[in-house]
Amino acid sequence: MKKSLLITLLAIAVTLNSFSGQPVKTAGTVDNKPVNLTRSEFINKVMDFEKNKTEWVYKGDKPAIVDFYADWCGPCKKVAPALDELATEYAGKVYFYKINIDKEPELAGLFGVQNIPTFLIIPMKGKPTLSSGASANHEENKTRFKKLIDEVLLKQ
């Protein structure tokens, strides 16, 4: 009797923990939205620039887009919803990261980010490229990134 009660209580605890309301997390999304990276998270998930000072060595297992932004940036706010939608659409295929340049100026400087939004496009093979700018039109932003993801990152 005591053993079955213990098993029942354990099952309830596990069930309650699985419905804790915590966001679903993967390496490149939280609730299928881009993940904000700190310096240490960038080193752990994207590239260890301290260890590899002269060579690009990507640590991810999927291609990625890193959005360099600032909270005060109007164009950054215009492109964010499109990236959020694409993070859901491409969940499990492409990582979406965000780096706030005001909080992580070293990372922005590492890639020579001078204008925002700037996007670091990281394929699985080869070196990353930078792209900058955003449209005021949501659909134009989404179409631009969808084309980039399909043709460059996923090569469809």
pLDDT above 90 for 64: yes
Find the catalytic residue in 46, 73, 94, 122. Answer: 73
**Of 115, 122, 114, nearest to 37 (Cα)?**
122
Residue scoring higher pLDDT (9 or 120)? 120
57-61, 75-79, 117-121, 133-137, range with the lowest pLDDT: 133-137
Strand, coil or helix: 71: coil
- Rounded Cα distance between 86 and 152, Å, is 15
pLDDT above 80 for 3: no
The amino acid at residue 133 is G
Please indicate whether residue 64 is annotated as part of the active site.
no
pLDDT at 4: 42
**Which residues make Cβ contacts (< 8 Å) with residue 40, sequence separation at least 6?**
none
| Residue matched to tokens 């084309």 | 147
DSSP letter for each residue of 77-130: HHHHHHHHHHHHHTTTT-EEEEEETTT-HHHHHHTT--SSSEEEEE-SSS--EE
Q: 26-153 belongs to which homologous superfamily?
A: Glutaredoxin (3.40.30.10)
Find the catalytic residue in 65, 76, 79, 101. Answer: 76
Q: What is the mean pLDDT of residues 78-91?
A: 95
Please indicate whether residue 73 is annotated as part of the active site.
yes
